[in-house]
């Protein structure tokens, strides 16, 4: 991917498209590592966060993890 895609299983960015395909099954059945993902996004310097769709659940969870990141979080209605 040109833009890093983070795994909700590991909280880390995928190394490539093959890894994404290989992890799909785990993504569906394993716990979501949301806090680890958010912390890794911040550590990697990601400052623009977008939640696509009608809900704001991811943004709400972000507020409990990191207020600075929450302020930068944008919701995009689709």
Output the pLDDT for position 1. Answer: 62
- What's the mean pLDDT in 18-44? 93
* % of the chain with per-residue pLDDT over 90: 73
How far apart are the C-alpha atoms of 78 and 33, rounded to whole Å?
25
Element (H, E) at 24: helix 17-29
Output the pLDDT for position 78. Answer: 87
Report the predicted TM-score, pTM, of the whole model to 2 decimal places.
0.82
Strand partners, 50: 74
- What's the mean pLDDT in 30-58? 92
Output the pLDDT for position 55. Answer: 86
Asked if 49 and 18 touch (Cβ cutoff 8 Å), the reply is no
Output the pLDDT for position 47. Answer: 86
Output the pLDDT for position 59. Answer: 92
């Amino acid at each position: 991917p040109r833009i890093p895609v983070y795994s909700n299983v590991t909280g880390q960015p995928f190394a490539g498209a093959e890894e994404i395909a290989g992890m799909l099954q785990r993504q569906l059945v394993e716990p979501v590592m949301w806090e680890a993902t958010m912390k890794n996004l911040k550590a990697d310097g990601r400052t623009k966060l977008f939640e696509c769709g009608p809900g704001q659940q991811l943004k709400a969870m972000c507020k409990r993890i990191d207020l600075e990141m929450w302020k930068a979080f944008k919701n995009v209605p689709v």
